[in-house]
Amino acid sequence: MSSAPIPEPRWLALLRAEAGRGSIAAAARRVGISRAAASSLLSGTYPAVSTDAMAARVLAALDVRICPGLGAEMAPEVCADWQAKAHVLVATNGQRVAMYRACRACPHYLIQDKDAPHE
């Protein structure tokens, strides 16, 4: 009886995808680590007891999404902040109105409003 393989952590999948788009050296430069560190992380031979610090660096550099409202990359925390602001319409601020509409139509929008009107 074989068990299902353990999926790799999100940060490692992001690093692997970035390296696949170019090279390990390019991915390492984007993250701000050495090519040797990136290579050992990808091969599972990183010598440190914990990879938490490297995971944080990879996520900070690569875990971004394109915001349809701003037309720019943003980290998930920034996206969550805009989602919280978009929870309530503030009609006195043009950018907040635009983000209210954009966030609610975005696939990353996580706040569910049962009573909110849908456009």
Provide the pLDDT for residue 108: 84
**Does one domain contain both 58 and 72?**
no
Buried-exposed string 9-30: b where 16+ CB fall within 10 A, e elsewhere = eebbebbeebbeeeebeebbeb
* 52 is a domain residue: yes
Question: How far is it, in rounded angstroms, from Cα 16 to Cα 45?
Answer: 14
Whether the pLDDT of residue 77 is over 90: the answer is no
Provide the pLDDT for residue 13: 94
Question: How far is it, in rounded angstroms, from Cα 62 to Cα 42?
Answer: 15
Over residues 25-44, the pLDDT tens digits come to 999 999 999 999 999 999 99
Residue 114 pLDDT class (50, 70, 90 cuts): very low
**Does one domain contain both 20 and 33?**
yes
Q: Which range of residues forms the domain containing residue 94?
A: 65-105
* 51 is a domain residue: yes
